[in-house]
Amino acid sequence: MTVTIDGTGSRFVDEALFVADPAGGWALRGSRCDSCGTVSFPAQQSCPKCTGSAVSEIALPTRGTLWAYTIQGFPPKTPYLNADERPFRPYAVGYVNLGDEILVESRLIADDVDSLEVGDALQLVLEPIRTGDDGAVYTFAFAPSTGPETEVTS
């Protein structure tokens, strides 16, 4: 099954990573252990802490704070998608604290990666990793929060 996220054939790189956000838009799909409350991302079939098999799917918060990060200063190895369309620029990757002891590893989108600071308010965004005649393929990233009203949309 392909998730059409904007009516043009665009889709997620892995639809198992996403779930409709009850507040609108999309959220990351996590799981919460029914026994001990441990939250996991990506969603797990069993609890990594207590090994319990009763877990519930949840939509993770779409906002968090930057917990730690690093700047990737050299291109990934081939095959590097869109090398012609999007020449390599240094980018940031880091851990985003979504509360409840949830740290999500993510690419960080920023106009100036040198401006990022631990503790920055971030929000989930959908980032195209490839575009084509049949639509774009999206993955998730986090970007500086632009305000409390902003929803995650594609």
Distance CA 64, CA 45 (A): 25
Choose between 49 and 86: whose C-beta lies nearer to Zn ion: 49
Regarding 50 and contact with Zn ion (CB under 5 A), the answer is: yes
Distance CA 149, CA 70 (A): 28
The structure tokens 């009763």 sit at: 54
Regarding 33 and contact with Zn ion (CB under 5 A), the answer is: yes
Distance CA 81, CA 99 (A): 33
Regarding 44 and contact with Zn ion (CB under 5 A), the answer is: no
Kindly report whether the peptide bond that precedes residue 42 is cis, defined as omega within 30 degrees of 0.
yes
Regarding 38 and contact with Zn ion (CB under 5 A), the answer is: yes
Q: How many residues touch Zn ion (CB under 5 A)?
A: 8
CB of 50 to Zn ion, least distance (A): 3
Regarding 52 and contact with Zn ion (CB under 5 A), the answer is: yes
Regarding 43 and contact with Zn ion (CB under 5 A), the answer is: no
Regarding 49 and contact with Zn ion (CB under 5 A), the answer is: yes
CB of 52 to Zn ion, least distance (A): 4
CB of 34 to Zn ion, least distance (A): 8
Among 3, 20, 23, 36, binds Zn ion (CB under 5 A): 36
Helix, strand, coil content of the chain in percent (nearest 5)? 5, 40, 55
- Calculated CA dihedral for residues 25, 30, 33, 39, nearest 10 degrees: -100
DSSP class of residue 133 equals: T
Regarding 9 and contact with Zn ion (CB under 5 A), the answer is: no
Residues lying near Zn ion in the complex (CB under 5 A):
33, 35-36, 38, 47, 49-50, 52
